[in-house]
Structure 1
Amino acid sequence: MFHPPKVRRKSDTGKRISPNTRQPIQRAVGFEVEVKNWKTYRTRPKGHPVMPWHIEREFTKGRYKHHTKDLLFKGRDYELTADCPFAGNSVPEFITIPFEEDFDGLHRANKAFAQIGELVDRMHHEAKIHPETLNRLDEYHAHGSVEAPTAMIDALPKPDFHPQANVGLRLTAVTDLFGLSSEKPITTPVAERLTRIKSLRGQPQRRERRSMAQAREKAERALDKFRYVFTIHEDWTPSEELLNLLAYMLHYIECPMINYHEYPKSFFPIMARTDFFMMYRLLPFEEQDYFSENDGNMFVKLFEMIKHSLPDIGELELDEEFFEEGIRNDQEADNYRLDGLTRKEWIRGVATGKDLLTSRNFPDQNINRELQTMGSWQKYDDLEAGGRAMPILELRRLQFTDNTEDLRAMAVEIFRTIIHLNEKHQPED
């Protein structure tokens, strides 16, 4: 069961975090593409033991916890990895480096996915492929091999792509991204679908799309009511950061009521990789201070006003559990259920120092792996050259086909879209 941690009061939180105080990393867009229906076998090169490889990923500036991978192939802009030999199901995965948001980054992303497509096609058409076959690729010759176990890959019909993108997006652009993702699916030709940002629609259910489309409206109505009940000062106008954070948190609360999957990451079409407390620290200081007063209860009142702003979310009881159905490691039993965390406790935690929907802040270590990677990049916001912090989001459940050219076009379109959203919301100062 969940036991609320001690609330960190303003007096013991230390210095406030300014977006300019963290070591910047390059603003970028990175991709991960799992390729299902492939089976990998490992043999041991003479004199080399079979060992799992920890893949160091620049986008996280750290190790990818709980996902130990063997490195099968390394190109200039991407790596092909597979689950370690001790995993039950071995899934090959392409992991790209983070591409900078400029023309060179777009060119490299386009080229990398063209090469990934070539490699996928080779594996699809050849019954068996050995690492020596990979040596024919120009990238392999240009940058040399990486010492790793040899591998033999059996290609099965129709590779099943599961792409996702990790993007640094301005907090003020979140509801714009929701708007792109919430449009109804279209059935026009591929080229037109891509120009209309097909890839960002993904495969959300109808209620998810409605939730994303209405999130900003609900937040605006609540803030409009809030201004007449509580005011920071006489001339206060809610910031765009506050409006977008409120909308994002509301969608997070609604998603588990829509989906009843066991795996928590599958709840959220746009998953937060930077935790919500870090996003909260990107609000203007006067708003941070005001909502943190009284143990964050002011922030909870905002969500209570959301509940009464529109009649269609009357079931949103803040005192009920965040995951009403629970989540668990073992689908066949009730072992390690994550339950007891109420929506009110999560909301208050964000305003007072902890995002409780993360493995490091949730006290039950039995479900650590279930929450791992949700909000895991607490200390690694993506920053642009001017030092403005942006949360990192993961676009999940993207549309995909078994066509590698569509996969390349999808990556390029996501890249262009994120650039457009960040430029659109670039602050004037």
Structure 2
Amino acid sequence: MRESKILQRIPASIAVSSKRTTMSPRVAGPDWFCNMSKTVGNQALQRYLISGFSKTPRQGTVIQRAIGVELEAPNWEVSTPKGKPFKKYAPLVRDDENGFTLSADEYLMPNGKSSNLEFVSDAHADKDNFLRSVGSMDKLARHLEQQHQENPIVLSDLLKKAGESETTSPYKLENKAHITPRKNLLPSVQVTMGVPLGKITSLFYKLANKQEKLEEPSNEDAVERLDLETSNNRAPVKKLNISSYENSVGELLTSFELMKNMFEERRTELGFNVEEKMSPPLEGLSAMIAYYLRSSFVPMGPQRDRKRQFPKGLFPVLAKTPFHQMFELLPDHEIKAIRDKKGQMNPAWVEWFLYGALGEYVTKAKSDEDQEKVREDIFNGPMLPQKFGEPGEKEYRIKLGRSEWLRNLPMDDLLTERNNPKLKGMGVFSGKGDVLAEESVDNTKELETYAPVFELRSINGSPKTGTWESWAEGYWNFYEELVGQGVRYKTPTPDKRKERCILQ
């Protein structure tokens, strides 16, 4: 999900309340950092925001969401009326009433640059608004599909044929465009949501189908099936088919269980006393780091010469908030244990992450010599060992050592677009994330007040037009089952006259 499509700028004076379980944006004046530091939780949030503001040019930006989606139609090419490709993220149609943008995405082809269509929703914290947004996207997509015999489709003419002018609600033409149509519009899917660190392991269990077994997709278009389940007299809930994640994430969870056992054995070496356990945020962050290590690891051999399109494709669960900002959300005593005097990761933690996540490859090696080579590769090999490049683009490699990434991680996530433009889409939200809305408070339990943002990619193929809204409802239910029913991360709306933020 692109930052430009879902962020709303708010003044730096906007902050959060001093109570950990009742976080909501409010005016706090110049001393708002002091007001935030009354609890350990707010100290973590304070560190998070300070570090984010100090490293991003967009100072004072805070984002909040429940969920947003992006549906990309890579086979539907779009150009200017003169036949030139659009620049990346160029808006074509805007629906302010329902909250989405039809835009162009630039990509490389052997014969030069081209553009394709993307349907990008706003970030919605209300289910009805989210479904209405996706429903409007579906409506426009069906109008496009119905004109597939025209080549090219003139976008301004299409809006008029659909009963809408260039200036009337809901669709407003932003740029004149010609579209090369196909008969079917089957988009690739990206879903962006804010997930508290303490819910990350639950996210992986759900993706691995450990908590619930869902049916495999069966039709030729790989359109996901949405099953109905009724329990405890509740209304039927549509559930996502997420079996495509089962193997890789299942292996991660097995590895993470071994990491937790290793943590028990090395507790004092890692800076914990004999009774201390990892906090839920540290468990979630550790699982996410282990997932990155496993997802990007390729054993030594011919597979390393395989060319991949782009680095972020290795991570179906992609961190949009960089890892070093997530570290700032941990309790103080855990930050102290993980960091050395220079602020880098302590060697004991580097070893715990690497050997815990990838040590099985050492034990699989047949000889002592092979084991030593594998161990050396795990500790000092490249974080992204394969070659990358889109069609028509010269191949390239990302020269970043695995240990180097980990050592710097408490201070700077080197695996982000900010540090390398080839890592496009990775860690692009800088110090920003989601803040718990006040009405979401459940007084029976303490809720995390801040949620890093993650992008879920390539879950079960492409929804057919006419089914996008029911498809989106499955994602909403997945999100709410994960973070808790009634828990909301609402999008703040700036009131410039009063310089304060009102929750929508």
Relative to the length of structure 2, the TM-score reads: 0.66
1:286 lines up with 2:338 in the alignment:
no
* Change in CA separation of 1:72 and 1:331 when aligned onto 2, cut-off 3 Å: closer
* Separation of aligned partners in 2, 1:214 and 1:388: 29
Partner of residue 14, structure 2:
none
1:400 lines up with 2:461 in the alignment:
yes
**Secondary structure class of the residue paired with 2:267:** helix
* Change in CA separation of 1:308 and 1:400 when aligned onto 2, cut-off 3 Å: closer
Partner of residue 344, structure 1:
403
Pairwise CA distance, 1:106: 0.8
| Structure with a larger share of its residues in helix | 1
Partner of residue 159, structure 2:
134
For residues 25-424 of structure 1, the aligned pairs below 5 Å read 25-43=63-81, 68-76=88-96, 77-83=99-105, 88-100=113-125, 105-126=126-147, 127-128=149-150, 129-130=153-154, 131-135=156-160, 136=162, 141-143=168-170, 145-148=172-175, 150-183=176-209, 186-187=215-216, 190-192=225-227, 197-201=239-243, 203-204=244-245, 206=247, 208-227=248-267, 229-257=269-297, 262=308, 263-294=310-341, 295-296=344-345, 297-304=347-354, 306=356, 317-325=378-386, 327-329=387-389, 336-339=396-399, 341-351=400-410, 353-361=411-419, 368-385=420-437, 388-401=449-462, 403-423=464-484
Is the 2:214–2:241 contact (alpha carbons within 8 Å) kept by the matching residues of 1? no
Is the 1:40–1:152 contact (alpha carbons within 8 Å) kept by the matching residues of 2? yes
* Separation of aligned partners in 1, 2:100 and 2:401: 40
Amino acid at match of 1:163: V
Pairwise CA distance, 1:303: 1.9
Pairwise CA distance, 1:185: 6.5
* Separation of aligned partners in 2, 1:92 and 1:98: 19
**Secondary structure class of the residue paired with 2:193:** strand
* Separation of aligned partners in 1, 2:451 and 2:415: 20
Amino acid at match of 2:350: V
* Change in CA separation of 1:406 and 1:330 when aligned onto 2, cut-off 3 Å: closer
Provide structure 2 residue ranges, at least 5 long, that are not aligned to the other structure: 1-36, 50-59, 219-224, 230-236, 365-373, 439-447, 488-504
* Change in CA separation of 1:310 and 1:178 when aligned onto 2, cut-off 3 Å: same
Pairwise CA distance, 1:343: 1.5
* Separation of aligned partners in 2, 1:34 and 1:405: 16
**Secondary structure class of the residue paired with 2:454:** strand
Deviations 1:383-428 (A, max 9, x none): 22258221100001121335124432232221222122222797xx
Deviations 1:329-383 (A, max 9, x none): 47789754223x22211111113x111112333xxxxxx3320211111221122
**Secondary structure class of the residue paired with 1:232:** coil
* Separation of aligned partners in 1, 2:179 and 2:198: 44
Is the 1:173–1:425 contact (alpha carbons within 8 Å) kept by the matching residues of 2? no
CA RMSD of aligned residues (A): 3.5
Pairwise CA distance, 1:120: 1.4
Q: Tell me which moved more, 211-220 or 244-253.
A: 211-220
Amino acid at match of 2:181: A
Pairwise CA distance, 1:133: 3.0
Pairwise CA distance, 1:78: 0.5
Provide structure 1 residue ranges, at least 5 long, that are not aligned to the other structure: 1-14, 45-49, 54-67, 362-367
Q: Tell me which moved more, 263-272 or 328-337.
A: 328-337
Is the 2:434–2:450 contact (alpha carbons within 8 Å) kept by the matching residues of 1? yes
Partner of residue 4, structure 1:
none
* Separation of aligned partners in 2, 1:308 and 1:27: 34
* Separation of aligned partners in 2, 1:218 and 1:115: 46
* Change in CA separation of 1:17 and 1:355 when aligned onto 2, cut-off 3 Å: farther
* Separation of aligned partners in 2, 1:155 and 1:332: 23
**Secondary structure class of the residue paired with 2:177:** strand
Is the 2:159–2:171 contact (alpha carbons within 8 Å) kept by the matching residues of 1? no
Is the 1:72–1:81 contact (alpha carbons within 8 Å) kept by the matching residues of 2? yes
How many equivalent residue pairs? 378
Is the 2:216–2:241 contact (alpha carbons within 8 Å) kept by the matching residues of 1? no
* Separation of aligned partners in 2, 1:389 and 1:52: 36
**Secondary structure class of the residue paired with 2:278:** coil
* Separation of aligned partners in 1, 2:464 and 2:102: 18
Q: Tell me which moved more, 295-304 or 153-162.
A: 295-304
* Separation of aligned partners in 2, 1:290 and 1:298: 10
* Separation of aligned partners in 2, 1:29 and 1:232: 36
Amino acid at match of 2:123: P
* Separation of aligned partners in 2, 1:300 and 1:267: 22
* Change in CA separation of 1:301 and 1:268 when aligned onto 2, cut-off 3 Å: same
Is the 1:218–1:309 contact (alpha carbons within 8 Å) kept by the matching residues of 2? no
Amino acid at match of 1:264: P
